[in-house]
Structure 1
Amino acid sequence: MRPLEGKVALVAGATRGAGRGIAIELGAAGATVYVTGRTTRAQRSEYNRPETIEETAELVDQAGGHGIAVQVDHLDRDQVRNLIARIEREQGRLDILVNDVWGGENLMQWKVPVWEHSLERGFRMLRLAVDTHILTSHYALQLLIRNKNGLVIEMTDGTAEYNEKNYRVSLFYDLAKSSVISMARSLAHELAPHGCAAIALTPGWMRSEIMLDHFGVTEENWRDAASKEPHFIISETPRFVGRAVAALAGDSEVARWNGHSLSSGELARQYGFYDLDGSQPDCWRYIVEVQDAGKPADASGYR
């Protein structure tokens, strides 16, 4: 089944992690997917990592879609404006926008109060997490609203319910992720008159390339990381949240979620999709009921 055949998607920030997983699953559903990021085979971003947007586009092709890699710094107005002009010129439409630009892993300072936190790193984190999403939406939504049923996904970390009750890493990180959730709510209000919807979406504990490297494991032996961090047993692949996005994009009644804050685990129950290993990890329920409750790591009933 290819429910997104003929649809055009832009995954902003698709070099690796959730963006790559989302792009692949949109491609598997038949979409044409523009994948953007700063790292290409000829040039790396400050991450200095090997994953590239060309590689993501090829994975989209292999999944059955059509991947188009475009190098874009989403803090550069001209580059974003030119990207949207190119999509309009080549496709004449935009049906799905996934704002997944982040780039803050190297900037994070865990549990550091604002008076000790690097202002340079903190404000850079906010620019990457918030300004990029606003700038991309400003240009992309002018094209998206020309057709009804357009969908905007604002990728974040944590649900509105969880983030409202819990301190997340630092003031800057907390503000960055909560701001994206608020952005989806605001966009939902502005898009509704045009028959389009905006949703905030969070993965659970995701086994991104960076996270796997952090624990010194691969996707094949990821469970070995539980010896260092037992709660890693609730983790999920980037494809799991990708399947959440594909399910939303293929739902003719997706407007019922307009303005909501959702998680991959919650949507798996709603739409009946599974991670690559056939499980349905419900990370945010696990975090509240097991990890934050101080119980021993045990994913029984949560996968």
Structure 2
Amino acid sequence: MAQDERSRGPLAGKVALVAGATRGAGRAMAVELCRAGATVYATGRTTRQRLSEVGRAGETIEQTAELAAEAGRDAGGAARAVAVDHLDAEQVRELVARIDREEGVLDILVNDLWGGDRLIGFDKKLWEHDLDDGLRALRLGIDSHLITSACALPLLIRRPGGLLIEVTDGTEEYNRNYREPLFYDLAKAAPLRMARALAEETEPYGTTVVCLTPGWLRSEAMLDTYFKVTEERWRDGCATDPHFAISETPTFVGRAVAALAADPEVARWNGQSLSSGGLAKVYGFTDVDGSAPDAWRYIAEVQSAGKPADVTGYR
């Protein structure tokens, strides 16, 4: 076998769309899919020419595509940055038409669309919350997913074996609890229900649909806005909240996505709620430091139970 054939990744020849890949989990998912050999379309609203309402300059879809392309260089991967507002159905239709025109197929769709944290008043009752902010958050966290799936599923289901991953915050079990405030609760519960419903609707076409959550994600905003630390010094954040010790890098959930996409038996998960920590036990991947944090089990058994922070046995 030729060297170039041996070096091709397990997803070589596959085409993926990561919707919401500007930063955080979405960026890591695009990078890890490309590292595994996929051709990845990375979309988002912040470009080098234009800043989205999230307001984080320097985190762009072009940067995501460059990181992904470099990661996939020896595995057959490729990456393309496409500016898309996923609340604009016409823009999403144009994106899907482009993928169809250039690749003729879509194998993996990841709905990692959010960008609503700044709109959430986490200490507000419904009647106290800014109504416009709350409704905008629902648009960003629910409508964007529905629009993208409605436009992209006809291409994804064209041939058997397609995979749709809805991304949320929290497992189905954990989200049975109230996730204060109401707008956040609705935004993060909806993808779980979408995955279950779309699993039913697409099963006759051989498509698998799951909902995936990271654990306590060390996104750029979590590090610099909430904990005032860098990734290199992330453990300093434990002085603010000792339970931050269970946190994980975006790469961990990115590796979960790549593992799902490469699993020939991925249909066993159809309709289910999955987590990065849970999938690490099945597929054997780790975070960048070699650990495998099981955040949602830790949150239930230690943090929510009021026990002192101790990640022994959880990462």
Instruction: Say which of 182, 192, 214 aligns to 1:171.
Output: 182
**Percent same amino acid at aligned positions?**
66
1:227 aligns with 2:239: yes
Encode CA deviations 1:2-32: one digit per residue, 9 max, x unaligned: 1100000000000001100111100110000
Tell me the CA shift for residue 88 of structure 1.
Answer: 0.3
1:128 aligns with 2:140: yes
1:30 aligns with 2:37: yes
CA distance in 2, matches of 1:2, 1:274: 18
Which position in structure 1 is the counterpart of 2:19? 12
Encode CA deviations 1:64-105: one digit per residue, 9 max, x unaligned: 121100000000111000000000000100000000010111
Matches within 5 A, 1:28-177: 28-49=35-56, 50-64=58-72, 65-164=77-176, 166-177=177-188
CA distance in 2, matches of 1:56, 1:299: 31
CA distance in 1, matches of 2:294, 2:207: 28
1:268 aligns with 2:255: no
CA distance in 2, matches of 1:159, 1:21: 20
1:197 aligns with 2:204: no
CA distance in 1, matches of 2:49, 2:180: 34
1:208 aligns with 2:219: yes
CA distance in 2, matches of 1:146, 1:79: 21
Q: What TM-score, normalized by structure 1, do the two folds share?
A: 0.99
Q: Matched residue of 1:160: which SS?
A: coil
Q: CA RMSD in A?
A: 0.7
Structure 1 consecutive aligned stretches of length 4 or more whose deviation exceeds 4 Å: none
Structure 1 gap segments, 5+ residues each? none
Q: What TM-score, normalized by structure 2, do the two folds share?
A: 0.95
Which position in structure 2 is the counterpart of 1:257? 269
1:187 aligns with 2:198: yes
